Homo-oligomer: A and B are copies of this chain.
Amino acid sequence: MEIFYTEQVADGICMLDREESGHIVKVLRHRAGDELSLFDGRGNLYRCRLTDASPVAAKARVLEQIPDWGAVPYRLTMAVCPTKRNERYEWFAEKATEMGVDAIVPVIGDHSERRIFKTERLKKILLSASKQSLKGRIPAVEEPCTVREFIRRCDPSALRLIAYCFDMDGARRKAVGDVLDAQPGRPVSILIGPEGDFSREEALLALDSGFIPVHLGSSRLRTETAALAAVAALYVKYLCTSV
């Protein structure tokens, strides 16, 4: 199944941009009357009929709208520090999109080497990963903020987890899977630190703010691997309900 992307849906008509129009009409040789599947990146899949096979501005009439298409049965925000090599962050974001994530927040920690992060390229990757994995909703990529800012503004009603690799007095880290099992149904936000881990001050602020400290096992995981292990923990937990 191939799906196409459009942001512009109004009065039952989908307007396709130059890129998608060219792909549909020039590359795939679709003609007026053909049925297409479009999605708006906001959760909706549209079964459509191509009405104007323009190679630069095609139009399609909506036959059926399917909301929450390909949605996972949970809400997950991943706040992950940028990796030294951008491609590692990009594949984390691609894989997280395939499994299911609602928002990705690049957070800058006290020990982050990379303190600047451009989100444009990431958004393109998430669009194609959403197409590939048949998800109606493209994960949001938020503008970078510091770890402290994220801790302060993170929704307190969410299950907020922070994964760090050191010990803090009186704060025993639980296995991430156990915490997820214990509190099903709540939105989840997971903070993953940089190569140099969080600072003790960041960890303390998170604990004081109600974050639950978790561990991801004894393996020394790279930032992007730790982040993906956390996404997979949630994905696998809800598998049984998702087929």
Contact = CB atoms under 8 A, between A and B. Distances in A.
A50 B173 CA distance: 36
> What's the number of copies of this chain in the assembled complex?
2
A interface residue count range (under 10 / 10 to 19 / 20 to 34 / 35 or more): 35 or more
Contact of A134 (B176, B220, B242): B220
A133 interface: yes
A43 interface: no
Interface string A48-68: 000000000000000000000
A176 B175 CA distance: 19
A217 interface: yes
A114 interface: no
Given A219-B133, A236-B232, A243 B175 contact: yes
Nearest to A237: B177
Interface of A: 70, 72, 91, 95, 98-100, 132-135, 173, 175-178, 215-222, 225, 228-229, 232-233, 235-240, 242-243
Given A98-B220, A177-B240, 8 more contacts: A70-B218, A95-B225, A99-B217, A175-B243, A176-B239, A178-B239, A229-B235, A236-B236
